[in-house]
């Protein structure tokens, strides 16, 4: 079964439970690292909630999902299940991740150089499905989404 199909099944299994818990699904990934497979579910508070996802919430969803996965027997290889917060420097992947973080400091890595640089750090001032607009120092820079290899929030200590 494909990785995409597995993540879709997992999302379907947990979407109602996650909503009931007052959380949202940030991302789901099924990846192979060395010889081991990992099924990772990243949770965040919904827009109305302040604070971060608790260990108890991660544990509750992990137990729920583990039982559901045993029932449907959808994942062929042995795997490790991890349920966690996406972290302070979370990766921005989906359109709604960017929309939710307008006004925040982000770091963007590019596939190829733009104006001689392959990475930028600035405030996300605008976004649509094809372009990110960053304020870097006093300048606004528009970056095509096709050029973005990875984008993360930046946590300032």
Q: For 3-84, CATH number?
A: 3.30.300.70
Instruction: Please give the pLDDT value at position 139.
Output: 92
Mean per-residue pLDDT, 109-131? 94
- Please say if the pLDDT value at position 129 is more than 90: no
What pairing do the DSSP bridges indicate for beta strands 105-114 and 139-144? unpaired
- Which residue ranges make up each domain of the chain? 3-84, 95-153
- Please say if the pLDDT value at position 125 is more than 70: yes
What pairing do the DSSP bridges indicate for beta strands 139-144 and 23-33? unpaired
How much is the pTM?
0.87
Span between the terminal Cα atoms of the chain, in Å: 42
Burial (0-12, 13-18, 19+ Cβ within 10 Å), 62: middle
In angstroms, the CA 68 to CA 62 distance is 10
Burial (0-12, 13-18, 19+ Cβ within 10 Å), 68: middle
Which tokens hold the place of 79? 């795997």
- Please say if the pLDDT value at position 48 is more than 70: no
- Please say if the pLDDT value at position 49 is more than 80: no
Instruction: Please give the pLDDT value at position 149.
Output: 97
Q: Where are the alpha helices (DSSP H) in the chain?
A: 3-20, 55-72, 95-100
What pairing do the DSSP bridges indicate for beta strands 36-45 and 79-84? parallel
The domain defined by 95-153 folds into SH3 type barrels. (2.30.30)
Cβ-contact 76, 30 below 8 angstroms: no
In angstroms, the CA 77 to CA 79 distance is 6
Instruction: Please give the pLDDT value at position 54.
Output: 94
- Please say if the pLDDT value at position 57 is more than 90: yes
């Amino acid at each position: 079964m494909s990785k995409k199909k597995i993540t879709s099944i997992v999302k379907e299994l947990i979407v109602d439970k996650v909503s009931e818990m007052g959380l949202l699904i940030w991302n789901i990934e099924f990846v192979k690292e060395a010889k081991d497979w990992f099924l990772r579910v990243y949770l965040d508070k919904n827009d109305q909630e302040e604070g971060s996802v608790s260990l108890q919430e991660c544990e509750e969803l992990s137990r729920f999902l583990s039982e559901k996965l045993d029932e449907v027997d959808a994942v062929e290889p042995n795997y490790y299940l991890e349920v966690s917060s996406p972290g302070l420097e979370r990766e921005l992947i989906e359109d709604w991740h960017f929309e939710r973080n307008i006004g925040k400091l982000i770091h963007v890595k590019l596939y190829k150089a733009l104006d001689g640089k392959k990475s930028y750090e600035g405030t996300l001032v605008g976004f649509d499905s094809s372009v990110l607009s960053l304020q870097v120092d006093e300048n606004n820079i528009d970056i095509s989404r096709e050029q973005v290899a990875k984008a993360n929030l930046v946590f300032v200590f």
